[in-house]
Amino acid sequence: MNLTVNGISFSYSGVQVLNNVDFRVDHGELLAILGPNGAGKTTLLKCMNAIHKPGRGTVLVGERDVFKLGSDDIARLLGYVPQRVEPARLTVFDTVLMGRKPHIRWRVREHDIRVVDAALKRLSLSHLSLRYIDRLSGGELQKVSIARALVQEPDVLLLDEPTSSLDLRNQLEILRTVRAVVKGHRVSAVMTMHDLNTALRYADKFIFLKNGTVCGCGGKESVSPEIIESVYGVEVEIEMRNGCPVIHPVEDLAALDGLHAHHHEIEHRATYAPGGPAVFR
């Protein structure tokens, strides 16, 4: 289902964090929100999920205004995966089953059990189903959080840095799974990310945030050295590899190593100069 964000603005204690943010994600599309620390990426996700109430603007899933819905209705439309999940004395199975709460009325049905089993299998968590989540690694706990969001069977997935605590193999597994869900079930997904090259590999669309304002939006063709330098303040080059853009910082490592060696030599001479060690302030 389509997700439309119209004119979202949000402030913390009078300080504006988001300023008139607009974008749209169609069903079957994966959008990455990119930008430096403090740009407002996580705040934007929380506004989309009505965790934060923006000062103005709307978030529509299809024709439904998220800010006019109750919590159960929101949970049926939007599956949210935060950056960090607090461990509790619950098993993996029970934690994921809690994601079925918006669909359960009087009791847990056989269908709910099958949905949970399928999510655990999809994320390679079946062997951990009876382990307590306070005994999991950070990466395992993140995968449990994603499984819990998937069993909500939402129209839109919202993922805040979904690979931040995962090793390379699990990063790839999670992003392949998210992309397969988006493409196979024709849902929309929005994720915040710091790794530009990983985002370019898996996402279909991108928005760049800087100081709470959208500085660029579009597909892979919209990602240019100019937009990256303007948002991150880093000069880069972009080349194509296997049909995917790859970003490289423009930096002369040999010159940098020479500069470090020069500084080390100055410090060495100052430390052992006659008259005692020098003090640098």
124-135 tens-digit pLDDT = 899 999 999 989
Model confidence band, residue 281 (pLDDT cutoffs 50, 70, 90): very low
Q: In the CATH scheme, what is the code of domain 3-250?
A: 3.40.50.300
Whose CA is closest to 49, among 25, 26, 19, 71? 71
Domain boundaries, the chain: 3-250, 251-281
Q: What tokens appear for 224 in the block?
A: 């240019």
Residue 54 has pLDDT above 90, yes or no: yes
Mean residue pLDDT of the chain comes to 87
pLDDT one-digit tens code per residue, 58-99: 999 999 999 999 998 999 899 999 887 777 789 999 999 999
Q: What tokens appear for 207 in the block?
A: 């928005």
Q: What is the mean pLDDT of residues 146-173?
A: 88
State residue 280's pLDDT score. Answer: 42
Residue 50 has pLDDT above 90, yes or no: yes
> What is the three-class DSSP state of 125?
coil
Model confidence band, residue 45 (pLDDT cutoffs 50, 70, 90): very high
Which residue blocks in the chain are alpha helix, DSSP H?
41-48, 71-77, 92-97, 110-122, 138-151, 168-185, 196-202, 225-232, 253-271
Q: What is the mean pLDDT of residues 137-148?
A: 86
Q: CA 246 to CA 230: how far, in whole Å?
A: 18
Question: What is the pTM for the complete model shown?
Answer: 0.84
Q: What tokens appear for 264 in the block?
A: 């080390």
β pairing state of 30-34 and 244-249: unpaired
pLDDT one-digit tens code per residue, 206-264: 999 999 999 999 999 889 999 999 999 999 999 988 888 899 999 765 555 655 555 55
State residue 251's pLDDT score. Answer: 74
Q: What tokens appear for 211 in the block?
A: 């100081």
pLDDT one-digit tens code per residue, 169-212: 888 888 988 898 888 877 899 999 999 999 999 999 999 999 99
Residue 47 has pLDDT above 90, yes or no: yes
Model confidence band, residue 143 (pLDDT cutoffs 50, 70, 90): confident
Q: CA 262 to CA 268: how far, in whole Å?
A: 10
State residue 137's pLDDT score. Answer: 85
Give the HSE-up count for residue 158: Cα atoms under 13 Å, Cβ half-sphere: 22
Query: For residues 187 and 154, is the Cβ–Cβ distance under 8 A?
Result: yes
Those residues with Cβ within 8 angstroms of residue 83's Cβ, 6 or more apart along the chain or in another chain: 42, 160, 161, 164
Cα 115 from chain centroid (whole Å): 24
Q: CA 31 to CA 177: how far, in whole Å?
A: 15
The 56-61 sheet, strands edge to edge? 15-25, 3-12, 56-61, 64-65
Lowest-confidence range among 110-119, 158-167, 220-229?
158-167
Q: CA 113 to CA 100: how far, in whole Å?
A: 9
Q: What is the mean pLDDT of residues 14-22?
A: 93
Residue 186 — φ and ψ, nearest 5°?
55, 45
State residue 43's pLDDT score. Answer: 95
Q: CA 161 to CA 254: how far, in whole Å?
A: 33
State residue 259's pLDDT score. Answer: 53
